[in-house]
Amino acid sequence: RLADAGFRHYEVSAYARPARECRHNLNYWRFGDYVGIGAGAHGKVTDVATGTVTRTTRVRQPGRYLAAAQPIERVAETRAVPATDLAFEFCLNALRLREGFDAALFEARTGQPWATVDTAVGAARIKGLLARGAGGRWFPTDLGQRFLNDLQAMFLPDAADGAPGSGAPGLASGGPIV
């Protein structure tokens, strides 16, 4: 019905007419930066000079947030994302989009070489979860969208070497779960 009404399924949980996609969410899914403002807000900022990705969380309670005398008192947590987690965090977001991503976007947003995810991408392709499209973009197949958590888990760092692997539970380590 949505397709008949001119909507396309552009993100795992969203439909929109062409050029009417939620730009706010597209920034998240493309692993862009954003500043969290307000009680309980989250932020992600990349230091271009060092390539460090930092996540922030603001104080949750509105009263405490508003009562803070200094802006720094409104920050509940600041943490640098370990380099070993960047590929997973990128894929956790980018794989939500039907358009997927290409090597250039991965490298620009994570500061890591494509080789970091090449093995996991290949394993996901073999399992039918990812396909390669025009311009070298990798995107989730219909099966990949259906089993998105399993696909994303394939990019979790392996405990042994910190590189993304395919040892995740469920579909990532075996056949389809149906």
Give the model confidence (pLDDT) of 23-33 as tens digits: 999 999 999 99
Q: Is the dihedral of CA 7, 10, 15, 20 positive or negative?
A: negative
Percentage of the chain modeled with pLDDT above 90: 85
CA distance 49 to 34: 17
- The answer to whether the beta carbons of residues 72 and 96 sit under 8 Å apart is no
Reported as half-sphere exposure (CB side, CA atoms, 13 A), residue 175 has a value of 1
pLDDT confidence bin for 91, thresholds 50/70/90: very high
Confidence of residue 165 (pLDDT cuts 50, 70, 90): confident
Q: What is the mean pLDDT of the chain?
A: 91
| 26-63 tens-digit pLDDT | 999 999 999 999 999 999 999 989 989 999 999 999 99
Q: Which amino acid is at 74?
A: R
Confidence of residue 68 (pLDDT cuts 50, 70, 90): very high
| SS3 assignment, position 9 | strand
The 3-state secondary structure of 87-117, one letter per residue: HHHHHHHHCCECCCECHHHHHHHHCCCCHHH
**Does residue 5 carry a pLDDT above 60?**
yes
Rounded to an integer, the average pLDDT of 147-169 is: 78
